[in-house]
Amino acid sequence: MPDLQAARGAPLSASRRHGGPPTGATVGEAPGSATAEPRSRATGLALGVGLVGLVVDQATKVLAVRELTGREPVQVVGSWFELVLVRNPGAAFSAGASVTPVISVIAIVATVVVLWQVRRVRHRAWALALGLLLAGVTGNLVDRLLRPPGPLRGHVVDFFALPNWPVFNVADICINVAGALLVLLLFRGINPDGTRHDATAGGTR
């Protein structure tokens, strides 16, 4: 009986000596990563963050239009932070105001690309970053699709004002935070699946 048990245990021991996955490892988990999440959980996190960000963005825009239309800038922290209603037909810094439909199409393509990446993410920070990016892109896209003067030509509602900076909204904040987080993740060599890329070794671990 002991011989039989030893024989049964031999493959497991050999697997551990040669770097095989431990007992109970889930098939498809990223190897060599302590931060990888189950794909469904990471995807759920990204979509949840995206939905919450979108709702907050649209809710604050509705309030801004209702409370700030026709009013002078409202000072929150003196002249350092004000609330002022601006309808932006272009992109950042009001660039591209004459090609709003093109910007709308680019935003639609960006939304599809982000959703595709969300399906593959396995890392919590990547899920958070993609969720914020999704919230920002879709938040401004909803304005372009549904607000006057018409579909694909709608003006984005902005209302946060800082000195020497373009007026912005919650969606813009989400996009900028997502961008900073993605740069940090790439700088640290963390891949969307939770593995790390070693630039000096030229591989992943």
Interval 161-201: pLDDT, tens: 999 999 999 999 999 999 999 999 999 999 998 898 764 44
Quote the pLDDT of residue 38. 82
Considering only CA atoms, which of 200, 126, 137 is closest in space to residue 174?
137
Whole-structure pTM value = 0.78
- Lowest-pLDDT range of 18-27, 148-157, 184-193: 18-27
DSSP for 139-176, written as a single string: HHHHHHHHSTT-TTTPPEEEEEE-TTS--B-HHHHHHH
Active-site option among 3, 57, 143, 158: 158
C-alpha distances (whole Å) from 100 to each of 66, 97, 112 are 24, 6, 19
Residue 88's φ and ψ, nearest 5 degrees, are -105, 115
Which of 57, 143, 172, 193 is flagged as catalytic?
172
Q: How many whole angstroms separate alpha carbon 126 and alpha carbon 193? A: 9
SS3 content of the chain, % helix, strand, coil (to 5): 55, 15, 30
Residue 93 has pLDDT above 80, yes or no: no
pLDDT digits (tens, 9 = 90+) for 38-59: 878 999 999 999 999 999 999 9
| Phi and psi angles of residue 104, each rounded to the nearest 5 degrees, phi first | -65, -45
Q: Catalytic site residue 172?
A: yes
* CA distances to 61, 144, 150, 156 from 147, in Å: 11, 6, 6, 8
Per the annotation, the verdict on 198 as an active-site residue is no
